[in-house]
Amino acid sequence: MCQLLAMNCNVPTDIVFSFTGFAMRGGQTDTHHDGWGIAFFEGAGVRHFVDHQAAVSSPIAELIKRYPIKSKNVIAHIRKATQGQVALENCHPFVRELWGQYWVFAHNGDLKAFAPVLDGPYRPVGSTDSELAFCYIMQQLRNRFGTERPARAALRAALAELTQEIAAYGTFNMLLSSGAELFAHCSTNLVYLVRQYPFDTAQLSDEDVQVDFSQVTTPNDRVAIIVTQPLTTNEQWTAFQPGELKVFVDGMPETQL
């Protein structure tokens, strides 16, 4: 199945270190070579890059590894196709507008016989179960809350119901963000860590690269990294529970703020 990566921070931060290791899983240290993508929130806008080439050999992925784009919320995905051909329109993450905000979504898993009725403005462009699920989520949120974004607690409750509904059709590990927070749902595999003061050195598991974060951060910085499998060998990663939905705000799970 696919690989997911997300970052949620309290200050704009670059994802170069984590993405460098993550991209190696797109054809070198793993077999996820059917495309990749990444989206960065910047203010009300989104920088969105996708490529149907393997991440390990993609010139666009090389750009991301060398260009320190700073963002408070980032979602990335490396694809191993289960539904839909290898094509640009099937590369995650996907982007849609709701309540005057961009929403970014990526999915790891396989949904069987998932065929919801889409009767609103949200339609898939590609042929993946993932984009279909995203359109369904957007439609249901719009139907439930209308034209105004609800409070985060109500939104979290609605997403908890929707993710459980969709997960009944198969594996539904997913990431979703509007740039204000980051939602992560686990069916099978998701882990996270929070980097904060006092910072230490981290060593990538997929590449011979390490960074001493104490040299590139301030004592006030806080960064949460969410990924399918741990990216580093010397940090403590926390596993999600199956069926769990977490909300990350300012670099930490909301319940711990």
Q: How far apart are CA 30 and CA 69, in angstroms?
A: 26
The burial of 59, by beta-carbon neighbours within 10 Å (0-12 exposed, 13-18 middle, 19 or more buried), is given as: exposed
Instruction: Using alpha carbons, select from 5, 173, 14 the residue that is nearest to residue 82.
Output: 173
The burial of 223, by beta-carbon neighbours within 10 Å (0-12 exposed, 13-18 middle, 19 or more buried), is given as: buried
In the block, tokens 């919801």 appear at 116
Query: Is 2 one of the catalytic residues?
Result: yes
Q: How far apart are CA 73 and CA 47, in angstroms?
A: 11
Of residues 2, 9, 91, 135, which has the active-site annotation? Answer: 2
Q: How far apart are CA 101 and CA 2, in angstroms?
A: 26
- Active-site amino acid positions: 2
